[in-house]
Chain A
Amino acid sequence: MSTGTAQKSSDVSNDTRGVCVTLQNEKDGKVMHPDLINPNIKVAQYAVRGELYLRGEQLRQEGKEIIFTNVGNPHSLGGKPLTFTRQVISLCTAPFLLDHPDVEKLFAPDAIARAKKLTASFKGGIGAYTDSRGNSMIREEISNFIQKRDGIPSNHNHVFMTDGASVSVRMSLNALIRNSNDGILVPIPQYPLYSASISLYGGALIPYYLDEDNAWGLDMPGLKTAVQEARAAGKNVRGMVFINPGNPTGQCLTHANLCELVKFAYNENIVLMADEVYQENIYQDEHPFISAKKAVYDMGAPYNEAVELFSFHTISKGTGGECGLRGGYMEMVNIHPDTVAQMYKCASINLCPNTVGQIAVSVLVNPPAPGDHSYDMHVNETTSELHSLRRRAHMVTDAFNALEGVSCNFTEGSMYSFPKITLSAKAIEKAKSMGKAPDVYYCLRLLETTGISTVPGSGFGQKEGTFHLRTTILPREEVMDKFTKMFKTFHESFMDEFRD
């Protein structure tokens, strides 16, 4: 009998395996030793919950008050859920309430009706697995929403719900990436979900830089160069991610931008992955949200028949901000039906997305209509949150731009501000002497001094030699003043401390 110890010798070559060499199976008595786990996991980086987050958590546990502006997590900073959504969820989770004589005292009549309709559509209620793509009635509601938004038909069989949009993104990347030569174009700065997932699936991230001097706009020649260089380096360029409105950059793409992208994807045979989770979060009127799908169809043939497009949406953002419930979807446009079937198979391994997240998606895409009992309240709640976010976008951007050595593009959309901070040579040296990236050092000092938890620009990618940080614009208006003041005080003393 061969034993574990015998197996440990790691350099046995075996002719049935060609050139492969047996990987080590055990180290320090551990099979699951950190040095012996999947190397794709080891290289994956996920900065949003990285060093800064961990230190923030530690300080919080020590009793320090922390303002978590590191994640777009509105409720944790006092954002309130939308009442109608939660009434419906509450009734669906406890369907026996629907038979209670007092139910109408606590719940709105349209919430009761909606809960009844939803409960009926979940065979067995929300405690039963649904189809792995999600409840089909809700997928039809999503299709109707997309159709209404874009004026273009949508097929609910090509809409999959998942536990948050992140799972949708990961499913599509997993299908697309075959090996380390398969590359995905990702904007820099980017949301680290993309870099982390691409590493995890063993693909190659191909960066393309957004133009900070041009309001974080797309740089088409730069994009083309990125593709050419990647190909010259032996990569297959398979997919291209773009985030509209931008995360962490906050810019909104114009119709013309989108058309250029679509044309580019068509010419270069690249699958478009449109991260459109912030579509509701728009804080100016010049660049309203336009979906990639609409741009594809506006361009007509051959684009509308050929450009392969994934588009992602979520309940976590918008005005509801239901991060914790984990609901999201993807729509697949011009994706080969057999590929959709392959994705369905992969989705089925996890059985189904959680039902409460599905219900939240249902209410997001099919909210109360005029005349419904809850309509006025629902509209009032969503618009006042949106207006407040717009004011906060201005407050944060203005505050950053008032600081020495800081410049910040206006947050046109999404939930983030991504200021550039010009650090002095002294500060950079100090950071290096501590073995930290300068932006990490700045953010750590900010955290220690003020309790403000941000994410350094290096977590998202930035041009060599520039330093940024990402903060959400989510502190409530009543504490925003305090937030910007704390930031200012810290920044001034930091600049004084390290003045060259």
Chain B
Amino acid sequence: MIHGHYPIPVEPYNSALPATIWHNSSTRISFYKKPRRDRSNQVIGIRRSSMLRSQGNKIFALCSKAHALAALQGANAPSILGSDGVRFKSTNPNVKDGKVMHPELLNQNVLDTQYAVRGELYLRAEQLRKEGKEIIFTNVGNPHALGAKPLTFPRQVIALCAAPFLLERPDVEQMFPRDAIARARKILASFKGGVGAYTDSRGNPLVREEVAQFIEKRDGLPSNADDIFLTDGASVSVRLCLNAIIRDKWDGILVPIPQYPLYSASITLYGGSLIPYYLDEKNNWGLSVENLQASVKKAREEGKNCRGLVFINPGNPTGTCLSKDDLKKLIKFAYDEKIVLMADEVYQENVYQDERPFVSAKKVMAEMGEPYVSSVELLSFHTVSKGSGGECGLRGGYVEMTNIHPGAVEEVYKCASINLSPNTIGQISMSILVNPPVPGDESYELYMKEKSTEIASLRRRAHMVTDGFNSLEGVFCQFTEGAMYAFPQIKLPKKAIEKADSLGKAADVFYCLRLLEATGISTVPGSGFGQEPGTFHLRTTILPREDVMQQFNDKFKTFHKAFMNEFRN
């Protein structure tokens, strides 16, 4: 226990308290408690003397911390009797307006957390939708919500795994292709007890082995299934790792600005410090090692430990694909500065140009050889939610831990085990993502056709959206090289900024709200991701289907023109 004197705010039982007490700085008081007894009914404590002091218009009792807390909690909290016979009631710091879980009494990290993707704009959009307005939800990368169809093969396998009694039916082959049936049998055999049983907390070992093989094939490097954890979406992987890395508020994580708010929110929630590093919009949202170094230097001067560095490739919300050269610089930087790399590679399948195909951080690290390949600590994340399948709702993801100390992997395993296991359907979905039908399989052609059609369509949509934005007055948008988003900069007229100020809103929030009200298009303002001060952006997905994209662009254009005319300086 910490020794010392602690003030307890007290308030009078009777508001008509004599003024003399309020101004008396050293009234002797006694705490009258019901006698404390031990289990054999022996009295072990009864009263305690202490001091009252006034400060401003509040009165404080000075006593030990333990005594203060004991005095203030619960119904048996003692009344405080002043030497002149006036009773005081203590104010319980644990309760406000009758609530223990009062919003002002919650975990400060929870209160401080911001999560814009589902913030004000989203809530307003939900409200409008309930009122019957048609809303185009381009605020979240949620392809199926905008009409994308699931890939057939994974869903067939999942349907069979969920209802294994179908496999016993002689007519099952009339409804399901043979390779889906064979795959479901194989998967069910590996899930002891089927999909209704908990798996190992890291996920099914067969699926983790498949993930390791996928990585090996992609990068040409060995991968160890024991360093791969499956989770309920990649977000859970990211959070598991951040929770392990962050010890206190002096532990900092470098995060790109603009960034995906999962990072800022999780870092706040775990009580760490976000250290921003700016991406260079003029240079196609490119990385600048100078910016990174400046950020690290500044953070260290403030006394922070730089523990981790997040990068998102392809970029969210920026759409940038990193070149091999960029990745080399990042890896060298992480090595020189002793920083754990956190590679958000969930959009690795979503690439819409041919100049910079996706290259994993792990592959580049291997190409760089020693000392990088065996010492840079790397966490890499992938998901079933993105790509061409877009299985957001199933919640499947993984983290691969490279060069992470086995003892740390063990600790992360223990944390994962508190939630028992990731959901099995997401695990199956991951199994098929990393181990799809191969040439010769009955479903191969359909599967490949569905995938390539979707990626080709996304590529066209990336162009449509970017071109649409760049044709607008005062709007500038880098091409969406990858991922699922466009992040145009909008030069807002001074009048619009003033109007937003007068409404107490950030200018980009104001713009997005007006867009939502006028067109039903739900976007996320740039301030939710971070942006250079004085610039305004918004994020939209490129996910509206091609047949409605023209309509989407037209609506946007009409709104933007009217908005610019309304606020023209």
Residues of chain A at the chain B interface (Cβ within 8 Å): 1-5, 7-8, 14, 16-17, 20, 22-23, 25-26, 28-39, 41-42, 44, 46, 48-49, 57, 71, 73-79, 81, 83, 86-87, 89-91, 93-97, 100, 102-103, 105-106, 122-132, 163-164, 166-167, 170, 174-178, 181, 193, 196-197, 200-201, 221, 225, 227-228, 231-239, 266-271, 306, 308, 316, 320-326, 335-336, 338-339, 341-342, 345-346, 348-357
Complex contact A130–B393 (CB within 8 A): yes
Bound CA span A30–B162, Å: 42
Closest chain A CB from B407 CB (angstroms): 3
Of the candidates A34, A232, A271, A352, the one whose C-beta lies within 8 Å of that of B411 is A34
Complex contact A46–B418 (CB within 8 A): yes
Closest chain A CB from B468 CB (angstroms): 23
Of the candidates B162, B302, B338, B410, the one whose C-beta lies within 8 Å of that of A356 is B162
Tally chain B residues at the interface, Cβ within 8 Å: 132
Can you list, as one digit per residue, whether each of B168-208 has a CB less than 8 Å from chain A (1) or not (0)? 01011011000000000000000111111111110000000
Complex contact A37–B155 (CB within 8 A): no
Q: Please name all residues of chain A whose beta carbon is closer than 8 Å to the beta carbon of B407 when the two chains form the complex.
A: 33-35
Bound CA span A108–B172, Å: 15
Residue of A nearest to B6 (CB): A234
**Does B456 interact with chain A (Cβ within 8 Å)?**
no
Complex contact B393–A234 (CB within 8 A): no
If A31-B308, A124-B145, A354-B425 are given as contacts, then 11 extra A-B residue pairs at C-beta distance below 8 Å, sorted by A number, are A3-B336, A20-B303, A30-B377, A32-B405, A32-B408, A94-B155, A127-B150, A324-B197, A324-B199, A324-B424, A342-B111
Complex contact A38–B245 (CB within 8 A): yes
Complex contact A37–B163 (CB within 8 A): no
Bound CA span A387–B249, Å: 53
Closest chain A CB from B396 CB (angstroms): 8
Question: A33-B408, A237-B73, A238-B94 given as contacts; is B159 within 8 A of A325 (CB)?
Answer: no
Complex contact B419–A167 (CB within 8 A): yes
Complex contact B100–A238 (CB within 8 A): yes
Complex contact B414–A122 (CB within 8 A): no
Complex contact A338–B103 (CB within 8 A): yes
Residue of A nearest to B101 (CB): A339
Bound CA span A8–B338, Å: 9
Complex contact A356–B394 (CB within 8 A): yes
Complex contact B39–A4 (CB within 8 A): no
28 contacting pairs across A/B (C-beta < 8 A): A1-B293, A4-B338, A23-B247, A37-B411, A41-B415, A46-B414, A49-B417, A73-B197, A93-B162, A124-B146, A124-B147, A124-B393, A125-B393, A128-B392, A129-B140, A176-B107, A178-B107, A227-B74, A236-B93, A267-B74, A270-B74, A316-B198, A338-B103, A342-B106, A353-B395, A354-B232, A356-B423, A356-B425
**Does B121 interact with chain A (Cβ within 8 Å)?**
no
Q: Please name all residues of chain A whose beta carbon is closer than 8 Å to the beta carbon of B39 when the two chains form the complex.
A: 221, 225
Complex contact A126–B394 (CB within 8 A): yes
Bound CA span A17–B390, Å: 45
Count the A-B residue pairs with Cβ separation under 8 angstroms: how many? 382
Closest chain B CB from A404 CB (angstroms): 32
Bound CA span A48–B75, Å: 37
Complex contact B419–A164 (CB within 8 A): yes
Complex contact B110–A105 (CB within 8 A): no
Bound CA span A233–B73, Å: 13
Q: Please name all residues of chain B whose beta carbon is closer than 8 Å to the beta carbon of A78 when the two chains form the complex.
A: 193
Closest chain B CB from A109 CB (angstroms): 16
Closest chain B CB from A115 CB (angstroms): 11
Q: Please name all residues of chain B whose beta carbon is closer than 8 Å to the beta carbon of A321 when the two chains form the complex.
A: 196
Q: Please name all residues of chain A whose beta carbon is closer than 8 Å to the beta carbon of B65 when the two chains form the complex.
A: 234
Complex contact A269–B250 (CB within 8 A): no
**Does B375 interact with chain A (Cβ within 8 Å)?**
yes
Residues of chain B at the chain A interface (Cβ within 8 Å): 1-2, 36, 38-39, 65-66, 69-70, 73-76, 92-95, 97-103, 105-108, 110-111, 113, 115, 117-118, 126, 140, 142-148, 150, 152, 155-156, 158-160, 162-166, 169, 171-172, 174-175, 191-201, 232-233, 235-236, 239, 243-248, 250-251, 262, 265-266, 269-270, 293, 296-297, 300, 302-303, 305-308, 336-340, 375, 377, 385, 389-395, 404-405, 407-408, 410-411, 414-415, 417-426
Closest chain B CB from A314 CB (angstroms): 11
Q: Please name all residues of chain B whose beta carbon is closer than 8 Å to the beta carbon of A269 when the two chains form the complex.
A: 73-75, 92, 94-95, 100
Bound CA span A91–B160, Å: 10
Most buried by A among B95, B307, B339, B420: B420
Closest chain B CB from A374 CB (angstroms): 13
Closest chain B CB from A408 CB (angstroms): 25
Q: Please name all residues of chain B whose beta carbon is closer than 8 Å to the beta carbon of A25 when the two chains form the complex.
A: 305-307, 338
Closest chain B CB from A166 CB (angstroms): 5
Bound CA span A221–B391, Å: 52
Bound CA span A379–B103, Å: 43
Complex contact A76–B393 (CB within 8 A): no
Most buried by A among B65, B95, B163, B244: B163
Bound CA span A482–B155, Å: 40
Closest 5 CB pairs of A and B: A4-B338, A34-B407, A90-B163, A76-B193, A94-B159
Q: Please name all residues of chain A whose beta carbon is closer than 8 Å to the beta carbon of B410 when the two chains form the complex.
A: 34
Most buried by B among A16, A74, A268: A268
Question: A1-B293, A32-B377 given as contacts; is B393 within 8 A of A352 (CB)?
Answer: yes
Closest chain B CB from A50 CB (angstroms): 8
Q: Please name all residues of chain A whose beta carbon is closer than 8 Å to the beta carbon of B415 when the two chains form the complex.
A: 41, 44, 200
Q: Please name all residues of chain A whose beta carbon is closer than 8 Å to the beta carbon of B174 when the two chains form the complex.
A: 102
Bound CA span A21–B300, Å: 13
